[in-house]
Amino acid sequence: MSPMTAAIIDLPVPPSVNETRRVDWSASRKLKRWRDTADGIVLVAKCRPDRPLRLRKIVCFEVVITVDERQTGSDLDNIAKATVDYLRRIELIENDAPKNMRKLTMQWGQAPEGLRVEVIERAQAAE
């Protein structure tokens, strides 16, 4: 199977991992607010009449995360963890283990909501 885009999701930029990995309850609340906002965006995308978002759990994939630098002060690498964890939470990806996530690309670019995530399905590697 050749690689193909399985899903593109536009989300707000998550809080930086520098904030959320400390013992800081305000950062925890900030991450929860971000997840709730992202859930709302995904729900709207699922219900839109024109090309509704269809989610299915993808086993082997690569992820391309594009961040609009005008909408965040975070470094690229501080955005990846919350984003990939969110994809797992909504069951778009099976896991972020090496056998599942074969490539992760982070880049600056245009993203309407601040962050664009593209999940590209890949053929499963032989075990």
Residue range 60-112, pLDDT digits in tens: 999 999 999 999 988 999 999 999 999 999 999 999 999 999 999 999 999 99
What is the model's pLDDT at position 8? Answer: 94
For residue 84, what are the domain limits? 4-121
pTM score above 0.85: no
Q: Please report whether residue 57 resides in a domain.
A: yes
Instruction: Evaluate whether residue 114 is within a structural domain.
Output: yes
Please give the pLDDT value at position 1.
41
**Main-chain phi, psi angles of 3, to 5 degrees:** -60, 140
Task: Please state, as a whole number, how many other Cβ atoms lie within 10 Å of the Cβ of residue 16.
Answer: 20
Give the tokens for residue 107: 């880049």
Q: Give how many domains the chain has, as a whole number.
A: 1
Contact 117, 87 (CB under 8 A): yes
**Percentage of residues in the chain with pLDDT exceeding 90?**
66
At 24, is the secondary structure helix, strand, or coil?
coil
Top-confidence residue, 123 or 59 = 59
Q: Is residue 126 part of a domain?
A: no
Q: What is the CATH number of the domain that holds 65?
A: 3.30.1330.70
44 lies in some domain: yes
